[in-house]
Chain A
Amino acid sequence: MATNVMTLPRTAEPTGLWSWITTVDHKRLGIMYLVTAVAFFVIGGIEALLIRTQLATPNGTVLNPDVYNQIFTMHGTTMVFLAVMPLNSGFGNYIVPLMIGARDMAFPRLNAFGYWLYLVGGLLLYSSFFLGGAPNAGWFGYAPLTERAFNLGHGIDFWVLSLQLLGISSLAGGLNFIVTILNMRAPGLTINRLPLFVWGTLVTSLLIIFAIPSITVALILLLFDRYFGTMFYLPAAQGDPLLWQHLFWFFGHPEVYIMIMPAFGIISEVLATYSRKPIFGYAAMAFAFAGISFVSFTVWAHHMFATGISPVADVVFAGTSFLVAVPTGIKIFNWLGTIWKGSIHITTAFLFAAGFIGQFTIGGLGGVMLATVPVDWQITDTYFVVGHFHYTLFAGAVLGLFAGLYHWFPKMTGRFLNERLGQAHFWLTMVGMTMVFLTMHYVGVLGMPRRIYTYAAGQGWDLWNLLETVGAFTVALGVFIMLINIITALRKPKTAENDPWDGQTLEWATSSPPPAYNFATMIPVNSPRPLWDAKYGAHSENVEQPKKIDLSGGGKAHIHLPNPSIWPLLLSLALAVFAVGVIFGPQTGWIVAPIGVLGIFVTFIGWLAQPASS
């Protein structure tokens, strides 16, 4: 076993609330992302249970139509923007610098800014419930239903402004990951040796950079329509609601992969680690990540087959959509190849990764059915679609994130999650999600449209809806057990050694949890799994004799770490003031928004004036 933590004079790790508010440490920010995102995941889950309770029986009366429409809109918006994306950011923040042997992210304060803006954006969105009603036009908010003429309240304004803040947060995070991964890799860690989680995060970040601007523009046009009567999406002035759909889905489809690519990466690491094998077909896997990402920018109109775009456009977008299935198939088969003839250690993390393969396959196959244009004309906008995208986002992203949680929890906290509770969580999730999401496919085929707050009895849907509701509560019970598991684990002593799972990548080459400076020494990197090579000798080409590189300056040098800073939080708050000022612009005589702009200016200057490190 290689231990790479030298007896280095530990730089004092500050404690206390202030140290968390001003922290720029990627590990602390990663944990803050994860904790916040889990909280929003639970809130979004409660919204899902409300939806399922309403639909458990025909003519449900738990929610009135207006509240129901708010709840399903918030469920979607929360899960996409406040749960899954930040969960990815959380793991990425914590793990990516460790995996590439870096001391922190490239821009630590920008990293903190990304987190605070995410928190502020999420709180702003949720404050709408108490300030006149939440958004109620669905997570893709089709114009003109979002226009002032059809939607008078402030819900949509909250939605627009919150998504803009969250978009800035995502862009900040994405840029930071790209620069970090391209510039701060350990010696020897070339691009073609990146662990697949790092590669997945890099690809995701590129997707973010190219996709977010499209929704930013779409939202600004909507904002102008609502406030200044520009009529971009209103036919009365030759505006076009289809413009919204193109702009939104040009973002919205890559967004699916923004949510799922990091999970692909996690699954790859987990399967390889617990099978004691390298990734099968590493190069093909890496190309598949890139290929799916590239193609994902060319398929957006498959969300619009029924809108009356021309048959030629239908055919082209169907073709590109089928194309996505090829690299996705490559990934599935290579994951199977990775565990084939392995030495599989069945842990909760491995189970979730294996469950991911089994369940995500259904998502992929359902996707092919939806890309088939005539079939899509029948099943689009039914529960078939709802089932399908939950098989990609829940069976895909969320199962991957659960695998990551059980895999990296000892690294992050120094403590183990209970395996028995973990396996209960796994089996409840598997059974529950099949009851909900597979049944949704079927009830969609039976003709049940999505987004209906009620349905009459006698249409053959009753039994299946009840089954879905039972399944949803089963999944929720699993999540509850997971939370119990986390809370009890955190109260136990730290027993995790550096490398509890016989890991292959650099994060297992430092202590659990790692010190503020991550690594004191660095092992040489000759493959995507340097720690494995150091432990067992490399099986790959270009082998050098493992040799430690001392990063400590002989144990005496002062370790150079970035300063804590309050400015990222203050800038986020100033942006929030501006957003609130816009939402209530007409009511406040447009006084608050300029104050926000001034705040942005002042905090920006403060940020620039503060030295990044002493």
Chain B
Amino acid sequence: MHSFWVRSSRLLAVLVTSLSFIALTGCSSYIPQNILAPFSPAAEETASLFYFIFWIAVVIFIGVEGMLVFFVLRYQRRAQDEHPEQYHGNTRLEITWTIIPALILVVVFAFTIRTMGQTGPTSPPGKGIPIKVIGHQWWWEIQYEDGKVLTASELHMPTNTVMNIVLNSDNVIHSFWVPSLMGKTDVMPSHDNQTWLLGNITGIFSGQCAEFCGAQHANMLFRVIVQSPSDYQAWLANQQQPPFEPAPGSPAERGKQIITDPKYLCVGCHAIQGTNAVGITGPNLTHFASRGCFAGCRFENNHENLTRWLTNPEAMKPGNLMGQALTKLKPETPYNPLTPDEIAALTAYLESLK
């Protein structure tokens, strides 16, 4: 079923989509979360099942609409005293249109069960690398090596290796979703759910929280970075290094002093390995600069964004807990307890944490 439906349907879908795009915008573009542009076996199976049912639905739809329009046009009243034949029903016809849809649904049901076995979150195709993904308000924490490597917003994985994922939340319900790789699994505070990822093409695939989880649900994004096994190993080795140690007297060292000074509150939520910063509410910053995005992957990790963020996080992501905590610290003013010099020092330090 898969290759025929996928190929013919994808061709048509691409054609229709690109035609409408070209017609309407004059250009065509890559749609990162399109479930019909799968980049994994599981997403491909799901897309082919989607098309299979979609085309059945299209046929039924055309039949119903065709009859409807035909009847409405054909049987309009011609004379005021016109009296049509009073049909009360037709048992044979009614049995037919009960049984045929039922049979179609049996077929769809069978394919549903079959595809569940291939794409279900609880039926991974094997054992690979165990990781843990934790949903926070509003960012994703990813734990490797039994929690020895803690990172945020970016999930790294090697090609052709099953990632066995345990999902957990210590707050509200979230939902873990990487449309081009895998369907959703909810992240429940009450029990650990499982899911898995398997990618066979290197690339960066976007994911997003899919269960409404509060003020910044919209900006609880993440990326899945599928790498060659050697790149993955290099990344993992780097993550296990101790953090960069800034040179004495450098701006980065001043930044480190600020971030580890309890009066600035950073250490309450963030952790940097080997320092007194051991908070767990916010993302671990030990290798912050190795990540391409921050703040729930809403912003590219660059100098300008980081400066804006440290100046006023509430303005960039209203309701986020860092902004909330700091607003409580100084409720009389909008958050800005840091001087521009301090922000520059902090930025220098964070950017050194490769």
Contacts and interface: CB of A to CB of B under 8 A. Distances in A.
B236 interface: no
B160 interface: no
A298 interface: no
Nearest to B215: A65
Interface residues of B, number: 91
Nearest to A329: B101
Interface string A361-394: 1100110110111111111111000000000000
Contacts of A340: 71, 75, 87
B86 interface: yes
Contact of B183 (A306, A319, A451): A306
B77 A144 contact: no
Contact of A375 (B50, B77, B211): B50
A330 B113 CA distance: 25
Interface in A556-577: none
Give the one of A334, A374, A382 with max B CB within 10 A. Answer: A374
Given A369-B57, A447-B35, A536-B83, A308 B185 contact: yes
A365 B35 contact: no
Nearest to B86: A539
B65 A361 contact: yes
B312 interface: no
B318 interface: yes
Instruction: Count chain B CB atoms within 10 A of each CB in A242, A319, A344 and give the residue with the most.
Output: A344
B88 A278 contact: yes
A322 B85 CA distance: 35
B188 to A, nearest CB: 6
Nearest to B50: A375
A373 B68 contact: no
Contact of B108 (A372, A376, A455): A372
A183 interface: no
A150 B213 CA distance: 10
Contacts of B239: none
B89 A280 contact: yes
A459 B61 contact: no
B64 A332 contact: yes
B172 A144 contact: yes
Given A65-B318, A240-B190, A322-B105, A277 B86 contact: yes
B264 interface: no
Contact of A540 (B88, B111, B209, B211): B88
A346 B101 contact: no
Contacts of A242: 188, 190
A339 interface: yes
A254 B123 CA distance: 31
A187 interface: no
Interface in B32-69: 32-36, 43, 45-46, 49-50, 53-54, 57, 60-61, 64-65, 67-68
A242 B189 CA distance: 10
A307 B188 contact: yes
Given A365-B60, A368-B105, A449-B210, A308 B50 contact: no
Given A365-B61, A374-B49, A446-B33, A306 B109 contact: no
A281 interface: yes
- Which of A314, A322, A458 has the most chain B CB atoms inside 10 A of its CB? A322
A181 interface: no
A278 B72 CA distance: 16
Contact of A357 (B64, B87, B172, B190): B64
Contact of B72 (A346, A452, A539): A346
B72 A65 contact: no
B149 interface: no
A354 B76 CA distance: 13
B29 interface: yes
A362 B116 contact: no
Given A330-B97, A337-B89, A377-B121, 5 more contacts: A69-B214, A276-B77, A334-B94, A449-B210, A454-B218
Interface of B: 21, 24-25, 29-36, 43, 45-46, 49-50, 53-54, 57, 60-61, 64-65, 67-68, 71-72, 75-78, 82-90, 93-94, 97-98, 101-102, 105, 108-109, 111-113, 115-116, 119-123, 137, 171-173, 175, 177, 179, 183-186, 188-191, 193-194, 208-219, 298, 318-319
